[in-house]
Amino acid sequence: MAWRLRLHGVGNASAVELGSAMATLERDGEPWLTIDCGGEGLTAFLRHYGRMPEAVFLTHAHMDHIAGFERLFVAHYFDPERRGKVRLYIPAPLVPLLQQRVADYPNVLAEGGVNFWDAFQLVPVSGHFWHRGVRMEAFPVRHHWPDSAFGLRLRGSAVWTGDTRPIPEMLARFADDGELIAHDCALHGNPSHSGIEDLEREYPPALLNRCVLYHYASREEGDALAARGYRVGRPGEAIDLADPTAAQVPPS
């Protein structure tokens, strides 16, 4: 099986030209599990695949990562073949936040009689979950507030940090099998996001060599990070991954 990580967007909330930070794990060229659902990122997904995601993992509930959920709802609710079938893997602490920010709008449809969650199959997750027979891992990261943001691991293949400050203790545990690490990084950090000097201070060179950086502020900033010798993700890029070592069972 051929695995890839496709980057739909790599920018921060203000870098519209780079797209909202969002990616899809592909298996044999097909979308397998999508990470986040931002507005520009969802547009890029549709442009590439010609259809909506069928499975989404949510890292956190800031709007640049969830702004596409209304479109996702409409596309699936009004298609009888897909209604209630798209899987949303949501870390349990994020469920009430997504409810408050998206799902709790009075009358999701003007006609009434419909709940936001009717369009989806909600799967709250804690430390791990199973997707299509493969064991995935979720872990908390350092972004904005405790238990408000989470990373994702496909063991042996890829780690997606989501928006975060440096997390050496988490990567020591959740990136210990040679995974590619897609890491939040801008030229300069702030209390919610990593800067390159933060990563250089916190991570050993061997780990930095496995990182592909995203969530930066502009193309020029991405070029500056690359000029320092780091791998920088670009919108639309597809990155080949090693085959996962995660536990697998025949999908039911």
Q: What is the CATH number of the domain that holds 40?
A: 3.60.15.10
CA 195/CA 59 separation, integer angstroms: 19
Residue 243 lies in a domain: no
State mean pLDDT over 60-73: 96
Range of the domain at 149: 3-235
CA 186/CA 217 separation, integer angstroms: 7
What is the percentage of the chain residues whose pLDDT exceeds 70?
99
Residue 200 lies in a domain: yes
Residue 14 lies in a domain: yes
Contacts of 92 (CB under 8 A, 6+ apart): 124, 125, 126
CA angle 33, 36, 42 (to 5 degrees): 90
| DSSP reduced 3-state for 240 | strand
Contacts of 190 (CB under 8 A, 6+ apart): none
β-strand 158-160 against 180-184: which pairing, if any?
A: parallel
State mean pLDDT over 12-26: 95
Please write the tens of the pLDDT for every residue from 191-234.
999 999 999 999 999 999 999 999 999 999 999 999 999 999 99
Report the pLDDT value the prediction gives residue 1, as an integer from 0 to 100.
Answer: 67
Residue 252 lies in a domain: no
Please write the tens of the pLDDT for every residue from 148-202.
999 999 999 999 999 999 999 999 999 999 999 999 999 999 999 999 999 999 9
Residue 246 lies in a domain: no
Q: What is the mean pLDDT of the chain?
A: 96
Residue 247 lies in a domain: no
State mean pLDDT over 11-38: 96
Residue 244 lies in a domain: no
Tell me how crowded residue 78 is: count the other CB atoms within 10 A of its CB: 11
Residue 251 lies in a domain: no
Strand order in the sheet with 134-140: 128-131, 134-140, 150-154, 158-160, 180-184, 211-214, 231-232
Please write the tens of the pLDDT for every residue from 72-83.
999 999 999 999
Q: Is the pTM here over 0.85, yes or no?
A: yes
Number of domains making up the chain: 1
